[in-house]
Amino acid sequence: MMLCKLSFKNIRKSLRDYTIYFFTLILGISIFYVFNALDSQTVMMNVSSSTQDLIKLMMNMLSGVSVFVSFILGFLIIYASSFLIKRRNKEFGIYLTLGMSKRKISFILFYETLFIGILSLVVGLLLGVILSFFMSLVVADMFEADLTKFTFVFSSSACLKTILYFSIMYFIVMIFNTISVSRCQLIDLFHSAKKTEEIKLKNPYLCILVFILASLVLGKAYHMVTVEFLTLQEVTDILKPILMGAVSTFFIFWSLSGLILRIAMSIQKFYYKGLNSFTLRQFSSKINTTVFSTTIICLMLFITICLLSACLTMKNSMNANIRKLAPADAMFTANMNLDQYYEKYRDYGYNDSQIKNSHYTAKEMFELFDFDITTYFKDYIEVNTYATPDLTMNHTLGSKLDSIRTQFPFLAYDTMEPIMKISDYNQVARFYGNPEYSLRSNEYMIVADFKSIVKIRNVALKNREVIHLFGYTLQPKYDSCQDGFLEMSSQHINTGILLVPDSIVDEGYLVQNHLIGNYKTTNKEEIMKIENHINQLDQDSKTKAYLLPSGSTKLAIKEATTGLSAMVTFIGLYLGVIFLISSAAILGLKELSESSDNKERFKMLRKIGTDEKMIHQALFRQIAIFFLLPLILAFIHSIFGILFVFKFLEVFGNEELISSVITTAIFLILIYGGYFFITYLCSKRIIREN
């Protein structure tokens, strides 16, 4: 009982020392609860069955991510506990001197960990419940749930899961504390604060050489992920620049740890101004032994910035794309004249009857299944696309083919190019509200919106490559692809459609008929009934002889997009915020440990007449350097990292990149900046102690 009271008094006495520890635990617990409580809230939502499936998939993924997050938070709690033990070395030394056994000290730490754990869990869960309410509203709005039937509930499963995971973490911390106390020596406990890191001035020429080489390797990694990205086909190809970047980051910090003090010492006016010499030597004494941890923090910040920026951009762009890239209610495509390429389509799983009966348009095929388009659609258009083996990407790239194939060997150059009459495309453009075009009898043009392929096609178009089609020779009207599309989607997937004059098209090469229309109703439930009716046509026995048109609808695209954007957003936020908290907490704890070690040195500064303002400025600069150094390099990494990510995700578009980067910056300022501010305030208190 006495040990229990002593533990409780210690916590009250050192409450301000525990600020970052409490702050980190409470944030971690609340975030853990919020993301694991989403399924309990979404159960109350009135959403479609397909949306419910997406929510279940999202929750399964979040559960897997939670396991990973628990390992990160577990490591963080153990790291924080090691700081707190180090902070109290002298106190433990006094206990041992007074005759207290190491076993009793372990019990004190046990009770303290228990009290801290219970307090953190209670406060963290309360904060998590509050945040969960607002998160539930966000999810309900995202999935367009009926909020009139939505009620907020406390998630007992998420609460139990949070308690279980964090109880395991605290139990591991207790074991760790017991081991740490059992190994401590009395003399080390009393003199640990007086020990100093030896400042080893590295050979400056070696540091310069290492810095230059590391920068060159890092530059090569940047080049690989931005310029050579299309040649990165295998996983090992992608891992190579990542490994190069990580290793070069380590050696950049290693070389800087030897250069910063040397450079500062050579600038005597700066070095001997105020307390700069003290600040820089204190910084150098620690940076020499923290190169590896600084590298890890830098890489974690890099991942955080890229992850948050990419996920938020993807989510915002996909939502914006629905309005632009899915402007009609429905589009159905009938594959026609499959018997021209009989064997090819047998390989796709079509049977002989379906191939032989593939001479009906989408509307005619629906009529065969007793589905009347005019009953459900207020307006619609029908257009065709054509294809011939005599016009593939090999032909459209012309004389530029060999050089492009060398750079991008993985493209399917033998695929037949889709061809449309200019009048048919203009019908689609009017229906979608997109620009229309005109062509002369000897001209062609390409509409596309997949940026990587657009760049490749533009090389040939700028070279004025001619094509030969249906016995005619055509030259490009424009020296670049024009923006446009046919198929509805939430992504920029159009790799290129050739538009040609109507008069030259051979109808014998018709391969697809497209029906695009708008429903008579705008009621979501009625639209769902129509689309369910269309989906049920697939159960008709006629499908054995006839191939139903494939379809994509605005409602289906929107639901799929919402589900994907929700998964991306929540997983990105979950991991990004946890990585950010971990990075900032580790830096904060390292700086508090540094301030604790430097307390005697700051006392010496006071004895020689240094005023408090100069001491606080020196402390602020020292902490700022530690926080800014990994952040600056992480920011440089993230510029190229974001470019790399969007090369692969450009089908979603990057129109919302600026707003996403601003949002990410706000997260950094609030969390990273918050930890910096708390660290500075706690450090000021530590060095003021008598």
Helix (H, G, I), strand (E, B) or coil at 397: helix
Which of 18-27, 212-221, 484-493, 675-684 has the weakest average pLDDT?
18-27
Q: pLDDT of 598-628, one tens digit each?
A: 777 777 777 777 777 887 887 888 888 888 8
Three-state DSSP class for 499?
strand
Residue type, 168: I
In the prediction, which pLDDT does 289 show?
A: 65
Is the per-residue pLDDT at 423 higher than 90? yes
Q: Where residue 5 falls among pLDDT bands split at 50, 70, 90?
A: low
Query: Poorest-confidence range of 97-101, 297-301, 441-445, 506-510?
Result: 97-101
- Assign 3-class secondary structure to 154-206: CCHHHHHHHHHHHHHHHHHHHHHHHHHHHHCCHHHHHHHHHCCCCCCCCCHHH
Between 107 and 366, name the one with better pLDDT: 366
| Rounded Cα distance, 14 and 596, in Å | 13
- Positions of E strands within 233-339: 330-335
**What average pLDDT score do residues 188-205 get?**
56
Residue of 466, 254, 216, 515 whose CA lies nearest to 360: 515
For 124-149, the DSSP string reads HHHHHHHHHHHHHHHHHHHTT--GGG
Mean pLDDT (whole number) for 305-327: 81
pLDDT digits (tens, 9 = 90+) for 144-158: 655 566 666 778 888
For 368-453, strand residue ranges (E) read 377-386, 419-421, 443-447
For residue 362, the number of C-alpha atoms closer than 13 Å in the C-beta half-sphere is 25
Q: How far apart are CA 259 and CA 303, in angstroms?
A: 27
Determine the pLDDT at residue 156.
83
Looking at 219-233, 243-257, 485-499, which range is the least confident one? 219-233
Residue type, 416: M
Whether 197 has a pLDDT exceeding 50, the answer reads no
At 533 the pLDDT is 87
The CA distance from 300 to 306, in Å, is: 10
Lowest mean pLDDT of 87-91, 371-375, 516-520, 523-527, name the range: 87-91
First vs last C-alpha separation in the chain: 30
Rounded to the nearest integer, the mean pLDDT of the chain is 80
**pLDDT tens figures, 467-481:** 999 999 999 999 999
Share of the chain above pLDDT 90, in %: 20
User: Phi, psi (5° rounding) for residue 290?
Assistant: -125, 25
CA distance 672 to 587: 10
Q: How does pLDDT run across 353-385, given as a tens digit for each residue?
A: 877 888 889 999 998 888 888 899 999 999 999
Cβ contact 553:329 at 8 Å: yes
Contacts of 33 (CB under 8 A, 6+ apart): 124, 125, 128, 129, 132, 155, 158, 159, 162
The tokens describing 125, both together, are: 């869960």
Size of the chain in residues:
690
Per-residue burial over 251-263, b if 16 or more Cβ lie within 10 Å, else e, is: bbbbbbbbbbbee
* CA pair distance 663, 656, nearest whole angstrom: 11
- Looking at residue 360, its amino acid is Y
The stretch 386-413 carries a mean pLDDT of 87
Task: Give the pairing type, strands 330-335 and 510-519.
Answer: antiparallel
Token pair recorded at residue 81: 């506990």
Contact predicate 511/420, CB 8 Å: no
Beta-carbon contacts of residue 279 (< 8 Å; ≥ 6 apart): 618, 621, 622, 625
What's the token pair of residue 399?
């004389």
Question: How far is the C-alpha of 626 from the C-alpha of 607, rounded, in Å?
Answer: 27
Higher pLDDT, 135 or 366: 366
Q: 319: buried, middle or exposed (CB in 10 Å: 19+, 13-18, 0-12)?
A: middle
Q: Which residue has 């533990």 as its token pair?
A: 7
- β-strand 497-500 against 419-421: which pairing, if any? parallel
Count Cβ atoms below 10 Å from residue 41 Cβ, excluding itself: 24
Whether 265 shows a pLDDT value over 80: the answer reads no
Say what the pLDDT of residue 383 is: 96
| Residue 86 scores a pLDDT above 80 | no
pLDDT at 234 > cutoff 70 = no
* DSSP class of 229: G
Cα distances from 587 to residues 146, 625, 629, 667, in angstroms, run 44, 11, 11, 17
pLDDT at 195 over 60: no
Task: Give the long-range contacts of residues 251-255, CB within 8 A, separation 24 or more.
Answer: 251/210, 251/211, 251/213, 251/214, 252/211, 252/214, 252/215, 252/218, 252/633, 253/287, 253/291, 253/294, 253/295, 253/298, 253/629, 253/633, 254/207, 254/210, 254/291, 255/207, 255/208, 255/210, 255/211, 255/214
User: CA-to-CA distance for 69 and 203, rounded, in angstroms?
Assistant: 41
The pLDDT score that the predictor gives to residue 344 is 57
Q: How far apart are CA 503 and CA 652, in angstroms?
A: 36
- Tens of pLDDT, residue by residue over 435-465, are 999 999 999 999 998 888 898 999 999 999 9
Is the pLDDT at 193 greater than 60? The verdict is no
For 426-447, b/e burial (b = at least 16 CB within 10 A) is: bbbbebbebeebebeeebbbbb
pLDDT bin (cut points 50, 70, 90) of residue 576 is: confident
**What is the pLDDT at residue 585?**
85
Give the model's pLDDT for residue 271: 67
Phi, psi of 246 (to 5 degrees): -65, -45
Distances (CA, A) of 468 to 335, 402, 423, 578: 25, 19, 20, 58
| Alpha-carbon distances, residue 512 vs 308, 419, 420, 517, 549 (angstroms) | 41, 10, 10, 16, 10
Please determine, for residue 232, whether its predicted confidence score (pLDDT) is greater than 80.
no
At residue 248 the predicted structure's pLDDT band, cuts being 50, 70 and 90, is very high
- What's the pLDDT score for residue 454? 92
Letter string b/e over residues 452-488, b meaning 16 or more CB atoms within 10 A of that residue's CB: bbbebbbbbbeeebebebbeeebebbeebbbebbbeb
